[in-house]
Amino acid sequence: MLPIIGAQMDRILANLGEMRTGSFDEHIESMGLRVAPYAEKLEPSHE
């Protein structure tokens, strides 16, 4: 994995622990990242 992607993913995974409320996509967008597919993979579907 590229270092910059790794750093971003580390931040995302760290935030996952705090963001178990379903606002994950909003948080990602606030970080300036567009990783909806990753959000689905990282967080089990809770529909």
Q: Structurally, how many domains does the chain consist of?
A: 1
Task: Give the residue numbers spanning the domain of 24.
Answer: 3-42
On whether residue 47 sits in a domain, the answer given is no
Q: Which two tokens stand for residue 36?
A: 């909806």
Per-residue pLDDT tens digits for 3-36: 667 778 777 777 776 655 556 666 666 666 555 5
Q: Give the model's pLDDT for residue 14.
A: 75
On whether residue 32 sits in a domain, the answer given is yes
- Distance between CA atoms of residues 47 and 32, nearest Å: 25
Amino acid identity of 9?
Answer: M
On whether residue 17 sits in a domain, the answer given is yes
Tell me how far apart the terminal alpha carbons of the chain are, to the nearest angstrom.
Answer: 30
On whether residue 29 sits in a domain, the answer given is yes
Contacts of 13 (CB under 8 A, 6+ apart): 42
